[in-house]
Chain A
Amino acid sequence: MMKKLIVTAAVMVVAACSSAPAGEPVAVEITDGAFNLDATSVDPGLITFEIDNAGSQVHEFEVFAGASAGQVLPLVDGIADTTGLTVIDEVEDIVGGTSTELTLDLAPGTYLLICNLPAHYAAGNWSEFTVTG
């Protein structure tokens, strides 16, 4: 059990450190409880998120700038309080089983990718995202 946890943690760390070169799309799989990215760190420039809602619920994909590494947002009334962060863009109403794309020109920094529908942040529908610089 412990070994499995350590392996899982190691895999997660490796996954978290994976970096994609500029121009490569970033695949985002949204499930009912997670944002799974194939790269959580990329070079600055035009970045295309290929968003796939593999869950059954409707989700949204919001990109916030101004996050800090390891930041956990306070939960207020069931949603994350994003005061202090800036919305860069968002795609709303991503129905389960569908996919969409979002291309953004991102400067270096730490970003928060989140679905902030009620209870979704607490369930794990978010990911940190770093643009190296």
Chain B
Amino acid sequence: MAIDSVVELSRLQFAATAMYHFLFVPLTLGMVWLLVIMESVYVMTGKQVYKDMTRFWGKLFGINFALGVTTGITLEFQFGTNWAYYSHYVGDIFGAPLAIEGLMAFFLESTFIGLFFFGWDRLSRQQHLLVTLLMAVGTNLSALWILIANGWMQNPVGAEFSYHTMRMEMTDFWAVVFNPDAQAKFVHTVSAGYVTGAMFVLAVSSWYLLKGRDTEFAKKSFRIAAAFGFASVCSVIVLGDESGYTVGEAQQTKLAAMEAMWHTEPAPASFNLIAWPNEVEMKNDWAVEIPWVMGIIGTRSLDKQIPGIHEIVEKNARRIESGIHAVKALEALRANRNDAAALAKFEAHKADLGFGLLLKKYSADVAQATPQMIALAARDTIPKVAPMFWAFRAMVGLGFWMLALFGAALWFSVKGCFDRRRWLLKAALYSLPAPWLACEVGWFVAEYGRQPWTIYGVLPTHLSVSTLSAQSLYGSLAGFVGFYTVLLIVEVYLMVKFARQGPGSLGTGRYANEAAH
């Protein structure tokens, strides 16, 4: 239906704009709580240094937040501009959490961030703390509703297709809200944001300590970041996404791909620590296996099986065959809404409608699909294994590295001698990019792993796009990437400038490197 390059370019544009956006979001999610902690200590103890900490880290928070807002605007509208059929097909469900996010969360966050920066002299200490807290709550509620929307793409519960309106319609709002997939994602994603905020404060504080300047300020910041970061990194790992992997079929497919599990094994399955996936022969050329581990972390049991790729492909081929009947019956129903035979047939095969639509990539009239086409479409239902396998391992490796780092930082904070452990300070400084890398590869696993679907089992990606020309897509993609890159350079420049200047940039007269004016 849509030409391939438009589909590929639309995916690339969405990936680029979303990944740019997520350079800024995790730092916002995490730093906002660090600001709440620092300001709470200020309100409780009245010590000026905690107010200065809130204001200085708040300044860096603001520089980051500006680009979070900038890149976020795009995402609210890009479903309409570039994914028009998706918007029509699932807007009845997907639009609601986005709109509620605006009403419940984004207004809150954006209104109070103004008072956070401008209200210091006009509000009492308690009032200002309340403002900071409401900003933090708004930020995190915002993530909740966005991840409810995203979770529904992975596990589309509480909705049903209507042949009258040619779209999915909501049948149970609370099922959408309490989608286990969305809840697991929310905890995992905001915790990753908290780790990012903590790593940022930890790394910059370590730099001051290595330089031997603003030490009291830096030591206090380091301690708070170490404790908050350690708790958060534990939360990311323990309450990680794995808990959601048993709930939906999308997640089972993802799990099989990212673990390179080609065959269903007797429970509990073994875990491929490292493997060399062979896409063509659909097997691993070699693998280092650890018995039992996969079954235990994947199912939290010793007796439940985890389906392998071959079995999933086999099952999906049968669903595609059933889906052909659904597509044909739907065409008959659209021509004549009172066709009782078509309705009966449609109801019988409705659950596989999305699988039937997968064939549209190979044949405009799915009734003409050959067995080869069905086999190809079934094979399409598994994302490429190697990128999934390695991206997942990169994320987990970075996660455990940060666990060790925050563990050491907390340990030496408690012992009180962290500022003399130069290796620790250097490790913290050079680990600054780690949480961003982990976040980006994590999102890659989540979204690339859902292919070939935008809504798992419901709507294939190649049908979701707007009817635009490839030229338009090339133009807009270049525009977004160019614009964002310039803004990113400006942002990093300001971030480095103010981080180097340190708390002296507040102009209070209490710190090194006081601003000249």
- Are A and B bound to each other? no
